[in-house]
Amino acid sequence: MKVLNLQDKFAKFSDLWSPKVIAEMNNYQFKLVKINNEFTFHKHLETDEVFIVIEGEMFIEFTDSTVNLQAGEMIVVPKGTEHKPYAPNECKIMLVEPKGTVNTGDSVDIDRTTPNDDWI
Amino acid sequence: MKVLNLQDKFAKFSDLWSPKVIAEMNNYQFKLVKINNEFTFHKHLETDEVFIVIEGEMFIEFTDSTVNLQAGEMIVVPKGTEHKPYAPNECKIMLVEPKGTVNTGDSVDIDRTTPNDDWI
């Protein structure tokens, strides 16, 4: 049982859009990600996905609307919902999702799809 | 799909040790809790439990050690592990655990056990 300091963990990596696992609860994982600029539209067919903004601000574009999230805010994106995250500047977020969830969901993108069990 | 501001949600209640559900992801819930002073020793036989400190500081006493968590820190308490949270001053935390998890785990305590699906 280890106390995890989120900022210490963020200091351990600098690559963007590449979720790093910091903790596992049952079969769910807590992942930190640094994002900047646009990601691709994708959906997760088998699971909801939680975004928690730790520092900075981000937007999530849906097919018919866009939401803005600031530090200290979170959202649950329901399974099957197309979404495209983007951030005007570097933004630090935490994701909560089942182990094995792929960052690009059903949209395999050779430039964007990253390993999904990369621990720091 | 709604953006949830954690501090806005914390402003909606003042009772202590009484988790309020703010979001559901699959069959898991995100709960906010205000804590102060000591809770009771208990364990959850069926699930791990995540504590994330949003504001203030807390301690978790285990049978053989105690950990300190500050704002921006988190811990996974493995299932079956006896633990007693406490806080020297009011502390705001977020819990992540399966829907239906009772705050006092296997230790029913008439003064402490609260409804486990109380949304704000």
Q: Which of B2, B3, B45 to mutate to test the interface with A (most CBs of A within 10 A)?
A: B3
| Number of Cα atoms under 13 Å in the Cβ half of residue B82 | 7
Strands B57-61 and A20-25 come out as unpaired
Residue A79 lies inside a defined structural domain of this protein: yes
Question: In this structure, is residue B113 part of a structural domain?
Answer: yes
For residue B3, being part of any structural domain is answered with no
How far, in Å, CA of B8 to CA of B18, rounded?
17
Instruction: List chain B pLDDT tens, one digit each, 120 residues.
Output: 899 999 999 999 999 999 999 999 999 999 999 999 999 999 999 999 999 999 999 999 999 999 999 999 999 999 999 999 999 999 999 999 999 999 999 887 778 898 889 999
- Whether B118 is in a domain gets the answer yes
Q: CB A48 to CB B69 under 8 A?
A: no
Tens digit of each residue's pLDDT, chain A (120 residues): 899 999 999 999 999 999 999 999 999 999 999 999 999 999 999 999 999 999 999 999 999 999 999 999 999 999 999 999 999 999 999 999 999 999 999 887 778 898 889 999
A-chain residues within 8 Å CB-CB of B98? 26
Chain B residues close to A76, C-beta within 8 Å: 1, 23-25
Which residues does B contribute to its contact with A (CB < 8 Å)?
1-7, 23-26, 28, 30, 47-50, 54, 62, 67-70, 72-79, 81, 96-98
Domain assignment present for residue B84? The answer is yes
Residue A66, domain extent: 14-98
Q: Is position B104 within any domain? A: yes
Provide ipTM, 2 decimals: 0.96
User: Is B109 within the bounds of a domain?
Assistant: yes
Helix (H/G/I), strand (E/B), else coil: A8:
helix
Question: What is A46-72 written as a DSSP string?
Answer: S--EEEEEEESEEEEE-SS-EEEEETT
Rounded to two decimals, what is the model's pTM?
Answer: 0.96
Please indicate, yes or no, if residue A119 is contained in any of the structural domains: no
Q: What is the CATH number of the domain that holds B83?
A: 2.60.120.10
Query: Per the structure, how many domains does chain A have?
Result: 1
